[in-house]
């Protein structure tokens, strides 16, 4: 389950502390997420995953790219990763690949990430 903090928050765990930041949901096992939601009520929430809005954002971002665009190989590689993440229901991996698409489109990264 994806959990997001309303303000920066450190979660103490026996396996190691986790830092939650607003706008950066983190995936937790469901039982742990439910305990966290109950214990830190008001400071954390379940993050909503809006696949359709995310795909639309990527479509708008990449609209107009042509075959001769040097950014295209990186963008297509990351879009493929978005697709894999979508099919497996992995929102975190999807958002990471989407960030790399944005970086490539904005010219910050012209190298494919493997």
pLDDT of residue 113: 47
Owner of token pair 């099919």: 87
Tell how far CA 80 is from the center of its chain.
15
Question: What's the rounded mean pLDDT across residues 41-57?
Answer: 86
Q: Which carries the bigger pLDDT value, residue 1 or residue 99?
A: 99
Calculate Rg over the CA atoms of the chain: 17
Cα torsion through 97, 5, 57, 76, rounded to 10 = 0
Q: Are 65 and 72 in contact (CB under 8 A)?
A: yes
Rounded to the nearest integer, the mean pLDDT of the chain is 87
Q: What is the mean pLDDT of residues 34-60?
A: 87
- Nearest CA to 101 out of 53, 67, 54, 46 is that of 54
pLDDT attached to residue 111: 52
In the predicted model, is pLDDT for residue 109 greater than 80? no
| Residue 44 near residue 20 (C-beta atoms within 8 A) | yes
Domain residue extents for the chain: 2-46, 51-105
- 61-103: per-residue pLDDT in tens? 999 999 999 999 999 999 999 999 999 888 888 988 998 999 9
Q: Is the pLDDT of residue 59 over 70?
A: yes
């Amino acid at each position: 389950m994806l959990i997001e903090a309303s303000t920066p928050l450190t979660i103490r765990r026996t396996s190691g502390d986790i830092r939650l930041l607003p706008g950066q949901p983190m995936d937790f096992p469901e039982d742990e997420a439910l305990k966290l939601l109950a214990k830190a009520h008001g400071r954390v929430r379940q993050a909503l995953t809006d696949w359709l809005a995310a795909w639309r954002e990527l479509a708008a971002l990449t609209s107009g790219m042509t075959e001769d665009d040097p950014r295209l190989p990186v963008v297509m590689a990351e879009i493929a990763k978005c697709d894999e993440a979508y099919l497996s229901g992995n929102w975190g991996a999807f958002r990471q690949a989407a960030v790399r698409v944005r970086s490539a489109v904005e010219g910050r990264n012209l190298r494919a990430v493997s």
